[in-house]
Structure 1
Amino acid sequence: MTYTLVVCKPRLPEQYLTQRVELKSALDQAGHSNILYFPVFELIPDFSAMSEIGHWLKQEAPQPNRLVVFVSPSVLEIVLTHLGGWPSNVFCGVMGKQSAKLALDLGVPQSQVIAPTGDGPDESEDSDGLARLLAKQFEAGTCDVLVCKGPRGRVEFPVKLENMGHAVKVLECYDRRVIEQSDLQSNCLFELGASAALWVTSSETIEVLDQQLALKSDPRLTILREQSTVLTTHPRIAAKCRELGYAHVVQIATGIQSVNSWLKSNKKSMDNNKPITATLPPVSPSTATAQPASQWLGKAAFFISVLSFVLILLIAFAGKNQIEKTRMAFGERIQKESTTLDLVKEDFGKSSDLTKDLKTRFDLLELAQKEEASQRASLEEVYNSLLASRTEVSLSEVEQLISIAKRQLYLLGNVKGASIALSQAIELLEGTEKPSLLNLRTALEKDLSEINALPTDDLLKLAISLDSVVNSVESLPMLSSVQATTDQTLAELTEEPATNPAAAQTESSANGSAPSETNSSFSFEQGWTVVKQVAKAVWYDIKSLVEVTKVNSPEVLLLSSRQETDLRNTLRLSLLNARISLLSRQATLLKSDLERSAALINTYFDTQALQVQRAQSVINEISEVQLDLVLPELQATTAALRLAVAGQQGERQ
């Protein structure tokens, strides 16, 4: 049986596209052709609540921690779209992995997202799981919480937070408006029957949907309740569906991935679920004819046969129920495993796409280098042939040199190579007396002067310098590592070094009253002075063990080893992109890649280290290169060459 997915999620206004695009992309990737969008509610944002949220974020918090909790993905997208950016000192609490991914897509940093993972009963993807997670992460009474929700529902969650001692404020950020379903839309749903799989995300949705279908007074509603399958995400929603009379209710995890996994795992199970008929075994002829004269024995045998048949039916029914329960348990387990597998496949697909993109870029770069090498070889070959024969000027050789200059100038942007080719052409035309060749030489000199006026940058040398910076990324010291250069020690910040105890002893000895007293022993005051000086020197050495490093952003010192590795890989990739943009003469992409690389180095690496300073100098040098030059078109040379060739052909005729 092929199911038709009936999406009953609320409809957002047109300006909120993130969830809609993500849902469509997930359904397209899964390849479900049978999809029916059947929204029951339309969400209307409350703009006065948006302004109240902005005022709450700007005011001073009475508690050390601030937290905004979003009870659904819809309210999350509405609020974050109107805010425009997420404050750095506020945590974002959501109810599950789907909302957490949406928060990351809308610009909330991952370190500020608090969401239950759904792994185990303690982190269930609902309000109870989020409440338990907040109780573990924050102490009681240390949070200022703003709960953003819709009308009705989730009333118990703010009460739980207040019981923990937190300061709680509740805002209803949107209102629901029931969408009146047309007869055509309702008939489409009724005709699905057993093939309908309704995806319901709230108890209000299934209740209003059932009320609207009941108003149609269609007997097919009973068939829909008995044969359709309802996919829910919470036991409360499942209980409401059963209360309304829907027979097949399946509870799944949140997210479209869980829906896709359920549809894949149950696509063939219903087709293979055929009824099993039991047949009564025939009565043995020997038993039927054992005592034909005894009528009561025949009745007893018949009664025993009927009783055996009933027992067989009961056993078969019990076995079927047990098999069905086992199949459902295995189906749920397979569903969870397939959901995890789909997520892993998605991450692997992204990594493979990035690898393919990098490989394509490197192949293009190697192809450009090979082409440049071949052009250089051909240029050297022409130059050697010209040196071998200087007695006669060959117009074909001049034409080839001009063609090489054009290729160097327009295809590779090599100003120096084009200048060399035109110079060789001018040298070939030295000593000629033909008017057409004289005009060609004058045009060549004019175009050569325009080319020489252009700035020449050795792109290959700059690319090699950039390669050395890429190779040294692993050894660049970071501010979060122990190799970071310190500004000064704690002792230098507090006081000057103590005086030398030995010098103090010598000075005290020199100031003594008599040589006999100096040789015998120090007085009590002199000894006490020496002890204080030694203690000051020891205390100064202890304070010198503390080194002070000044940073602009404290969070750069809290990077883990994995984050440091990811940061270095990001910097290496940005520098490689800059190298490709440099060799392909793409000024806009080169500027963007260099700015991104410089920002990473200035923020997370020790700028006082020599290696970091060298990398910064290379980046600054490359950023001054002019790639968007207006190259001359060699129009005068082309016109003069055309006249010279025409004149040569006329002389031959």
Structure 2
Amino acid sequence: MATDERGAWTEKVFTSINVLIMIAVICAIILGWQWFDTRNQIAKLQIELASRLASAESYNQESRQRASRALDAERAADARLSILERKMADSQNQQVALEQMYQELARNRDESTLAEIEQVLLIANQQLQLAGNVKAALIALQNVDSTLQRMDKPQLKSIRLAVEKDIEKLRSIPFADVIGVSLHLDSVLNSVDSMPLAMDAHPHPGPKKEVRDEKSPWLRFWKETWEDVKGLVRIQNMGKKEMPLIPPSQAYFLRENLKLRLLSARLSLLAHDQVAFREDLETAQDWIRGNFDLDSAEVKDALATLKQIYGSEIKIDRVDINDSLNAIHDFRSERAAK
């Protein structure tokens, strides 16, 4: 009984050992498989890691190359940027210089134009003061106004207002036809040398009587001779006082004095001296009536012309354009002070 129990226990022990061995073998097999699989996975990981490291090294090398190229490009860009900055600075300096030059040229051009305008105004004012030439002064002011309008400068508004004011002032002055009257005086002056003197006028012979046809030639001869003898003496009623006999040398001085008197009338016309102008015309008309042939067409035309211009109104009130002159002078002075 004890032997059986010992044999059963021993069998149980061997059975347990076998089970343990089998378990150990199975565990060994499992561990071996896991080791083999792990080794394979590690090998694969090593291969993949090596591949990735190679790729990473290639990428790093390419990145370094790219970084080097980018750095070179950056350096080149910085150099170009520096060049561009220098060029831009030079361009800005040139632009500033050009702007200053343009402003200086514009200033000089405006200054030159204003100087010309002031000169024109001075001449127009002299014409007004010396000759009373309102028309010429008005034309000059209108030209100045057109010039200022073309300049289109707001700062010149005060000058334009002064010029327009003077234009309106000149337009309100009565117009004296100085040129027309002067042309009439010239026509009389040109005809003085050709006007006949009164002492050169001869009476017109009366109609010659026809001698009747006489049968006797001696009787016809004596009648013709008698008619010729009667024609040697003529009686003329002049109906006016006797004209003075003037020697040729004095006739020359008479004509020259008449011309001087007409020239004096022209000077009075230019000076707008109404009294002196009419006195000269009256004297000239008296000389023509007293010394020239009143039956001559030229003398009649001269007297008619002098009578016509005698009634012309040439006197005008003295005016000036000092407002325009003062305005442009003040503007130029203020501009020069700046």
TM-score (norm 1): 0.27
Structure holding more strand per residue: 1
Structure holding more helix per residue: 2
TM-score (norm 2): 0.49
The structure with the larger Rg is 2
The answer to which structure, 1 or 2, has the higher relative contact order (CA under 8 A, 6+ apart) is 2
